[in-house]
Structure 1
Amino acid sequence: MHRVEHVMGFPVSLRIDDERVPEGAADAVFAWLREVDERFSPFKSGSEVSRLDRGELSLAEVGTDLAEVLDLCEEYRVATGGAFDVRLPGRGLDPCAVVKGWSVQRAARLLTDAGLRRFCLNAGGDVVVSGGPWRVGVRHPEFADKLCAVLDLTDAAVATSARYERGDHILDGRTGRPATGLTSLTVVAPTLTLADTVATAAFALGAEGVEWAASRAGCEVYAVVTGGGVLRTPGFPTAGAGAVAA
């Protein structure tokens, strides 16, 4: 089965290749992602995140899910020396950089808990796959109709942080200015929680983020640096050319 919905501001595509799909399995995925959008979006005034930011909730009063997300945010703030920060001066609390990967990985767990073993869940270009191998294309940062890498993935996740979709939207928390030094950075990891957060945090660090991301346990990295050079870790799972992005 194949299903696409627009959730959390981007298209989410679910493909399931199991012969039998339990009734309601796909519905549960999209219902969860819609719930996440309502609870964690900083752009919705009634969300838990917005209420916390306005002081209507204390940290002691937030739910266990938001507490988990905020703990991850703090972990990466410390690990990057403040380059990754969801509480930038003059801006509201915005944990979206963690929420996306964390919530989509949780959605994938709903599918495995339902007994599914072969699926691909693509959330705005960040992908988690079960079974495999799956071929996943990484968009070229300068040419929208080209790929800069094609990956062979089995039971893994891949996330990319770049400027090409949203411009300079990733800020270096140490300066409050747009991060510099990288054009795009892709991370492959066991979970999308890890891949997505590491990719964003590393991009915020700039050129030094490539080595930082490569040092994170379980992460393989492919980076296009400003000026066009490419850096990659030896274990980055590149396949042959000619595949189409998942």
Structure 2
Amino acid sequence: MRDKKRDELLEIYRLLRNRFGHRNWWPADSSFEVIIGAILTQNVAWNNASKAIDGLKRANMLEPLALNERAAEEIAPLIKPSRFYNMKAMKIKNFMDFYYREYGGDLSVMSAESPAVLRKKLLAVKGLGQETADCILLYACGMPIFVVDAYTKRILQRYGIFKKEPSYEEAQRYFTENLPRDIELYNDFHAQIVQLGNCVCKTRPLCGSCPIAAVNGSKCRFTITTVHRSE
């Protein structure tokens, strides 16, 4: 049974990659930028988070020491495009306090931590949820942790793998238990799912253009023959 699930997941990944190409995710100039980007992209489109990152760069504040020394009130105006910017400025400060307290502001030291231990510590930082913590673990620290988002849960349910929307843990376990433990695979597979959810498997899905609709006998319960032209 596990081999069947593995083969199905790998076939889904192959079809997604054939359609969308390698996603080269996470787009960033440094691993530290990935961390800040993971906080800024909470509950907002990546374009907004990217504009907020650019604001920090223009102010020469996308460096650990600079962010650690500045108050949340100084950070907030620079990240307005990310929405909820006052709250996110506090989340950044909460992370920076943790980063320097636990690891002296050294990403190599943080990345040498046990994945399970580091994940537990990150989740204890106020404002960091499971998705944000796992993005930091996978994309910044290079740890084999599969990231789950709303698109992932939606697609797993629609596709019939789960009868109802799975919890974060259920969705994550499905991938990690049935895929090779491969950082590069986890990285690009998550990015492919985001692209599918963003472009095809929307609230009103464009099923006629879905690259994975035919996998395993078209079992997706949303598969239809007419492509929706609007949301």
State the TM-score, normalized to the length of structure 1.
Answer: 0.25
Greater share of strand residues, 1 or 2? 1
Greater share of helix residues, 1 or 2? 2
Q: Which has the larger radius of gyration?
A: 2
Higher relative contact order (CA 8 A, sep 6+): 2
